[in-house]
C-alpha cells in the first residue's frame, strides 16, 4: 500500500511539473531576450541571435514534450512515469547549460558590471525555477546545477574582484533558495501523500461499509435476504407499485413437516435441505426486482413486483411442483404418497392503485399459506380466492 501511495504521489508531482510547461516555456525566451538586450552592445550579434534561437528551440522542445505527455497520459504505465520526469529534467538541464554557455561565451570578464549581472541573472532564473520546478527537488537541481556551477567557476576564475563577489552571491543565494525549497517540497509531498492515503482509507471504509451492510441484510444460513430487510423492502415496493400504478404479488412458502425431517435426518441435514431449497428458489425467481428472503425457520417469502394475480399464482405453482420434482427424500413425511420434501404456498396480489400496509399484505399471504397447510399441504392457495373477509388494514 505504501509503495502504491508513493507512486501515486510521484505521478501527481510529475503532473504538476508538466502543468507548469506553458509558464516555463514562455519565461525562458523572455529572460533570454532580456539578457540579449543587456549584452548586445558588447557581444557578437550573430552568435547571440543563434543562442537566442537555441533557447527558443528548447522552449518548443518543452512544449512538444508537454503535448506528448498530455496525449499519452492515460496510457502511461505506472512504472514509466519516472521516464517522463527524466525527460523534463533533461530539457531543464539543457536550458541551464544554454544559459551557462551564454554567460561564459558572451560576457566580457573585464567589465565588472557585466560580471555582476551574471549573478543577478542566475539568482533571478533560480527563483523562477523554484516555483516552476518546486514540485520536484531533483528537477530543480537539474536546472540550477548546470546554470550555476559552470558560470560560478568561470567568473570566480576569470572575473576578478567582481567575479569573486558575484560567485559568492550565487553560492549564497542558491544555497538559501535550495534549502528553502527543500523544506517546502517535503511538506508539499507529504500533503499529497496524505491526500492519497485519505482517499485510500475512504475507499477501504466504503468497501467495509458495503460488506457490513450486505451482512446485515443477509441470512447467515442460506445467504438469502433476512426478514428485517424483507420487511423494509416490502414497504418500499408497495409504495413503488402504488406510484407506478402496477400490481405487486407476495408469496410465502413453508416446508412441510420439516420437524419430522429434522428429527429423522438430524439438524445438519435439515440445514442443508434449507440451503438447497433457498438455492432452488434463487434459480427460479431471477427476474429483475424479485426479492427472496428467509422469512423464518423453514419459511421463505418472495416479493414479485409488477406481477398480477394470474402470473403470481402460476409462478407459485411452478415453485411448488419443482420442489416436489426435486424428490429430496423425506422418509418421515406425513404425505405418505410422496415421501419427499414438499412446500405449501400462500399467494396474494395487490392490484394497481390499492393501498395496503405491508403487515396486512403479509397477513393475507399467511392466511393463504395456512389454508394450503389445512387442506393437506403440498399445494398453492391464493388469498383472494379464499372465502374470507378481505381486510384493508
Smallest distance from the beta carbon of 372 to ligand GTP, in angstroms? 10
The residue within the footprint of ligand GTP, chosen from 110, 209, 232, 271 (CB under 6 A), is 271
Check residue 346 for interaction with ligand GTP (CB under 6 A).
Answer: no
Q: Using the rule CB under 6 A, give the single segment among 179-187, 197-205, 269-277, 300-308 that binds ligand GTP.
A: 269-277
Check residue 154 for interaction with ligand GTP (CB under 6 A).
Answer: no
Check residue 267 for interaction with ligand GTP (CB under 6 A).
Answer: yes
d(CA 92, CA 100) in angstroms, rounded, equals 12
Site for ligand GTP, residues 67 to 126, rule: CB under 6 A: none
d(CA 392, CA 121) in angstroms, rounded, equals 90
Site for ligand GTP, residues 206 to 245, rule: CB under 6 A: 221
Check residue 293 for interaction with ligand GTP (CB under 6 A).
Answer: no
Residues 6+ apart with CB under 8 A from 177: 123, 126, 127, 130, 144
Residue environment code for 338-372, b if the CB has 16+ CB neighbours within 10 A, otherwise e: eebbbbbbbbbbbeeeeebebebbbbbbbbbbbbb
| 73 vs 217 by CB, closer to ligand GTP | 217
Check residue 256 for interaction with ligand GTP (CB under 6 A).
Answer: yes
Check residue 383 for interaction with ligand GTP (CB under 6 A).
Answer: no
Q: Residue 250 forms beta bridges with which residues?
A: 303, 348
3-class DSSP state of 224: coil
| 114 vs 258 by CB, closer to ligand GTP | 258
The residue within the footprint of ligand GTP, chosen from 39, 274, 302, 347 (CB under 6 A), is 274
Q: Using the rule CB under 6 A, give the single segment among 100-108, 207-215, 252-260, 346-354 that binds ligand GTP.
A: 252-260
Residue where the block lists cell 467495509: 208
Alpha carbon of 211 to those of 75, 126, 208, 221, 270: distances in Å?
32, 53, 5, 17, 28
Q: How far apart are the first and last CA of the chain?
A: 56
Residue environment code for 103-138, b if the CB has 16+ CB neighbours within 10 A, otherwise e: bbebbebeebebbbbbbebbbebbebbbebbbbbbe
Among 298, 317, 325, 371, the active-site one is 298
| 28 vs 367 by CB, closer to ligand GTP | 367
Check residue 291 for interaction with ligand GTP (CB under 6 A).
Answer: no
| 62 vs 257 by CB, closer to ligand GTP | 257
| Order of all β-strands in the sheet with 291-294 | 291-294, 299-305, 248-255, 343-350, 380-382
Smallest distance from the beta carbon of 259 to ligand GTP, in angstroms? 3
Check residue 297 for interaction with ligand GTP (CB under 6 A).
Answer: yes
Check residue 298 for interaction with ligand GTP (CB under 6 A).
Answer: yes
Smallest distance from the beta carbon of 303 to ligand GTP, in angstroms? 21
Check residue 33 for interaction with ligand GTP (CB under 6 A).
Answer: no
| Phi-psi label, residue 289: left if phi above 0, alpha if psi -120 to 50, beta otherwise | left
Q: Is 298 a catalytic residue?
A: yes
d(CA 102, CA 167) in angstroms, rounded, equals 16
Residue 387 grid cell: 372465502
Q: How many residues at the interface with ligand GTP, by CB under 6 A?
A: 16
The residue within the footprint of ligand GTP, chosen from 240, 280, 373, 379 (CB under 6 A), is 373
| 237 vs 299 by CB, closer to ligand GTP | 299
d(CA 141, CA 129) in angstroms, rounded, equals 9
Q: Residue 380 forms beta bridges with which residues?
A: 345
| 257 vs 381 by CB, closer to ligand GTP | 257
d(CA 378, CA 320) in angstroms, rounded, equals 7
The residue within the footprint of ligand GTP, chosen from 254, 290, 366, 371 (CB under 6 A), is 254
Residue 276 grid cell: 438447497
Check residue 374 for interaction with ligand GTP (CB under 6 A).
Answer: no
Active-site residue set: 298
Interface contacts to ligand GTP, rule CB under 6 A = 221, 254-259, 262, 267, 270-271, 274, 297-298, 373, 377
Amino acid at each position: 500500500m505504501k509503495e502504491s501511495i508513493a507512486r501515486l504521489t510521484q505521478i501527481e508531482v510529475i503532473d504538476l511539473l508538466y502543468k507548469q510547461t506553458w509558464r516555463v516555456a514562455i519565461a525562458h525566451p523572455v529572460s533570454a531576450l532580456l539578457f540579449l538586450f543587456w549584452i548586445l552592445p558588447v557581444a557578437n550579434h550573430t552568435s547571440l541571435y543563434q543562442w537566442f534561437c537555441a533557447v527558443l528551440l528548447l522552449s518548443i522542445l518543452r512544449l512538444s514534450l508537454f503535448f506528448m505527455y498530455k496525449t499519452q497520459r492515460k496510457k502511461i504505465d505506472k512504472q514509466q512515469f519516472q521516464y517522463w520526469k527524466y525527460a523534463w529534467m533533461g530539457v531543464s538541464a539543457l536550458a541551464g547549460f544554454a544559459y551557462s554557455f551564454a554567460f561564459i561565451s558572451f560576457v566580457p570578464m573585464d567589465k565588472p558590471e557585466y560580471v555582476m549581472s551574471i549573478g543577478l541573472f542566475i539568482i533571478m532564473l533560480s527563483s523562477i525555477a523554484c516555483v516552476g520546478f518546486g514540485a520536484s527537488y531533483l528537477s530543480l537541481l537539474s536546472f540550477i546545477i548546470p546554470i550555476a556551477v559552470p558560470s560560478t567557476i568561470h567568473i570566480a576564475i576569470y572575473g576578478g574582484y567582481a567575479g569573486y563577489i558575484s560567485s559568492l552571491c550565487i553560492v549564497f543565494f542558491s544555497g538559501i533558495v535550495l534549502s528553502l525549497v527543500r523544506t517546502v517540497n517535503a511538506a508539499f509531498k507529504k500533503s499529497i501523500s496524505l491526500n492519497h492515503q485519505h482517499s485510500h482509507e475512504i475507499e477501504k471504509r466504503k468497501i467495509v461499509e458495503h460488506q457490513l451492510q450486505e451482512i446485515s441484510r443477509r441470512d447467515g444460513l442460506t445467504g438469502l435476504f433476512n426478514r428485517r430487510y424483507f420487511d423494509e423492502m416490502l414497504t418500499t415496493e408497495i409504495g413503488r407499485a402504488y406510484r407506478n400504478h402496477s400490481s405487486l404479488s407476495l408469496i410465502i412458502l413453508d416446508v412441510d413437516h420439516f420437524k419430522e425431517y429434522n428429527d429423522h435426518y438430524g439438524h445438519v441435514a435439515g440445514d442443508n435441505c434449507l440451503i438447497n431449497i433457498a438455492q432452488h428458489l434463487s434459480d427460479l425467481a431471477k427476474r429483475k426486482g424479485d426479492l427472496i428472503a428467509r422469512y423464518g425457520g423453514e419459511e421463505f417469502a418472495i416479493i414479485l413486483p409488477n406481477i398480477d394475480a394470474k402470473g403470481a399464482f402460476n409462478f407459485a405453482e411452478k415453485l411448488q411442483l419443482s420442489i416436489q420434482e426435486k424428490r429430496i427424500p423425506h422418509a418421515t413425511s406425513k404425505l405418505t404418497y410422496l415421501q419427499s420434501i414438499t412446500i405449501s404456498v400462500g399467494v396474494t396480489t395487490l392490484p394497481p392503485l390499492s393501498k395496503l400496509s405491508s403487515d396486512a399484505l403479509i397477513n393475507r399471504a399467511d392466511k393463504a399459506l395456512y389454508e394450503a397447510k389445512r387442506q393437506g399441504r403440498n399445494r398453492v392457495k391464493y388469498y383472494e380466492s379464499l372465502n374470507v373477509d378481505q381486510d384493508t388494514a
